[in-house]
Structure 1
Amino acid sequence: MLTMHKMSESNTIPAEVVIKIFGELSLPDALHLAAACCRLRQVLVENTPTIYKRLRRNIQCEGYARVLLADQGGLPSDSSSVTIQDLLRLRRNSRMVEKAINVFDRDITPHIRIPTTNIDDKFYGGKPRPLHLTPTERHRFTRSYYQLWSLFLLDRPSRQQRYRSLLLKHLYMVYEMIDLDQLIGDEPPPPTEKRRELLREVDAYLCHIYYQTHGKDYIDFSGQSISMRTQGHAAIWDHCQPDFKQVVCYQWRDPQKKPIKDEDVWEHTTDEE
């Protein structure tokens, strides 16, 4: 971070250097830096797409954040161009997700109990399950939150099209996220009929796509895992992933049946990305 002394001399710093400095920061820090003086803001405004190419590495679930931004009226998610207004909206959205995670970590995560120590050994380095979301769990939460928030903004035909673009794994996780005991994004209080409508739609499409994929009736994952309290969010926890994958990929299927490729139903990227 530039010191205030250097800020006062920012006119003497080449723009190329300032651009590199912006690119090493998080999005909030970059916006704070731009607010320090007129020239720094000017550099950001005039070079936003270039700077964003570096900033985006530090935005969790950036692809899903960009889809939400587009659904909010911003530039298309595949556009390489972004504006200051887009950056401000991305920061606001990420803050709302972070607030939702903080509430979740306060109300839900500490109450997860694992009855067998071998689970702790396998997934948590031999230590008790942490009282907060792990990095991979935060990724799953953030991704699902952005996806559900987007659905709130779309009309019914657009939502139906979006459902068809979701992997089966992600449909499960969005379905669980609908039951989140807090408002989603800019959802007006109390939870509205729109949420109930989404619950019905996602449930119906999830049942349909599961049968279409596996030729079997939909398997509800909640409660399928080994005896543990999942607080209604079974698909998010690290220790539930093996059982969750068995359900999504239907790994109890007839061995004579042609196996479903993981990338068709499970994921194209890891939960660390």
Structure 2
Amino acid sequence: MAEQTESYTKVTLLPAELLLRVYNALPSLFDAANLRATCHLLRSVWTLHRTVIVDALVIKKIDCYPYARQLLAKGRRGIPVEKKELADNELAMLVRNAATIDGFIGHIERNLVPELKVSGIPQAKRNTIYAGRSTHPPTLTPTERLRVIRASYQMWTILQNDDDTVRKEVFRLRPRQLWYFAELTDWARVAEFPSRNTWQTFQILKASKAALSRMYKELWDCERPFFWNEVPDEEGWGLYVIWDHWQDGLRNLICRRPVGNLEWDREGEPRVEFWDSEEGDELFVEGIYRDV
């Protein structure tokens, strides 16, 4: 007991600046909450520097944080996006939601990535994107991960609406985001994301397919492209457009008039305004509209 008291005394003698560093070095918000409960001094450091600690332990560690906040705003408790100081239980909800999405990513990495071959793409692109490998890395690349996280938050947020609003929200998605969204909603049913209620996911799946059909009718006055083994059954059908090596192909599917499944008009002028750039596009070494 004397040894524990001596250690406790040494900790409380540390200046507040060092105690703040201890907080910021912790792996999670839950560890910070446990540390805060140990003594009055550590609680006062938490109270005084709460914003800095939360920024280090939560906000900077949650990818696509604005989308994570939109999910909280749409949830049962309706926590407004403009609310800057979140309560501890609200921060915990952010962390739990992010962990659920990490679980969805893990499902993709376990079930799809091991079978994904990239040996057929040009060597220059493999060198740039996949460090010359003939197989995909064992985990999603940073840009692939961001696409999945963003679409996952969009799915989860839209699911908070009634069926009529679901369709409206899905139809508002831009072409590139709509493709990622539509593809991942199909896989979400297999992975039981964000819950085992697959009927809810089926609603956004139907809406996304309808939105893709309407998009191609409005943009190109044609049927939407289909992938070679796109089968709407309970087993899902894999993923294509989220991968880094598929971005040039997706760009062509969006910006050129489709003339068949995964074929596009190679002579027509591309409509560049249909494509929204995002972080990581600089990885793609092919010309902007060069066919893959």
What TM-score bracket applies, with the shorter chain setting the length? 0.7 to 0.9
Deviates more, 1:77-86 or 1:43-52: 43-52
Q: What residue is the counterpart of 1:156 in the other structure? A: 163
**Fraction of identical pairs, as percent:** 23
Task: Give 5+ residue unaligned stretches, structure 2.
Answer: 1-5, 231-236, 258-263, 283-292
Question: 1:79 Cα shift?
Answer: 3.3
- State the Cα deviation string for residues 69-110 of structure 1 (Å, max 9, x = none): 222234223432322112101111111122222222111110
CA contact (8 A) 1:61 1:139 kept: yes
Question: 1:50 Cα shift?
Answer: 4.9
- Distance between the aligned counterparts of 1:164 and 1:30, measured in 2? 37
Question: 1:10 Cα shift?
Answer: 4.4
Change (3 A) 1:160 1:150: same
1:5-20 matches, within 5 Å, as 5=7, 9-10=11-12, 13-14=15-16, 18=19
- Distance between the aligned counterparts of 2:84 and 2:112, measured in 1? 38
CA contact (8 A) 2:170 2:207 kept: no
CA contact (8 A) 2:256 2:266 kept: no
Task: Give 5+ residue unaligned stretches, structure 1.
Answer: 225-230
Give the number of aligned pairs: 256
1:54-65 matches, within 5 Å, as 54=56, 55-65=58-68
1:248 aligns with 2:254: yes
Q: What residue is the counterpart of 2:201 in the other structure? A: 195
Change (3 A) 1:192 1:253: same
Identify the match of residue 106 of structure 2 among 81, 102, 106. 102
- Higher Cα radius of gyration: 2
- Distance between the aligned counterparts of 2:179 and 2:244, measured in 1? 15
Change (3 A) 1:81 1:211: farther
1:127 aligns with 2:133: yes
CA contact (8 A) 2:176 2:275 kept: yes
Change (3 A) 1:221 1:265: farther
1:34-73 matches, within 5 Å, as 34-38=33-37, 39=40, 40=42, 43-44=45-46, 48-54=50-56, 55-72=58-75, 73=77
Q: What residue is the counterpart of 2:260 in the other structure? A: none
Q: For 2:191, what is the secondary structure of its paired residue? A: coil
Change (3 A) 1:36 1:112: same
Q: TM-score, normalised to structure 2's length?
A: 0.72
